[in-house]
Amino acid sequence: MEKKKFLVPRDMSVGQFIHILSGRLHLAPGKALFVFVKNTLPQTSSLIESVYDSFKDDDGFLYMCYSSEKTFGCKHHSPSHAAS
């Protein structure tokens, strides 16, 4: 995926964001995508605003990692950024 930083509306749900990421990654239909924030799997119904408020970094960004497997942990060198 070319884009690694996203400006996400506060009222977007995690599930909607995952749907957008899935499209950008050209995932096959039915292929799962998981998003992690500080090794936590947020609920897809959670709003980005509440995830941001709970997990934002000291620099003001929300760092997210994605995977097609439900495996906790991610490399910090290529996170997706979701700023709210």
The per-residue pLDDT for 1 is 63
For 28, residues 6+ apart whose C-beta sits below 8 A from its C-beta are none
The per-residue pLDDT for 21 is 93
For 8, residues 6+ apart whose C-beta sits below 8 A from its C-beta are 17, 48, 82, 83, 84
Give this prediction's pTM: 0.77
pLDDT tens-digit profile, the chain (84 residues): 677 899 999 999 999 999 999 999 998 888 899 999 999 999 999 999 999 999 999 999 999 999 987 655 565 434 455 554
Dihedral, CA of residue 6, residue 43, residue 11 and residue 84, to nearest 10: -40
Domains of the chain: 5-83 (3.10.20.90)
The per-residue pLDDT for 78 is 42
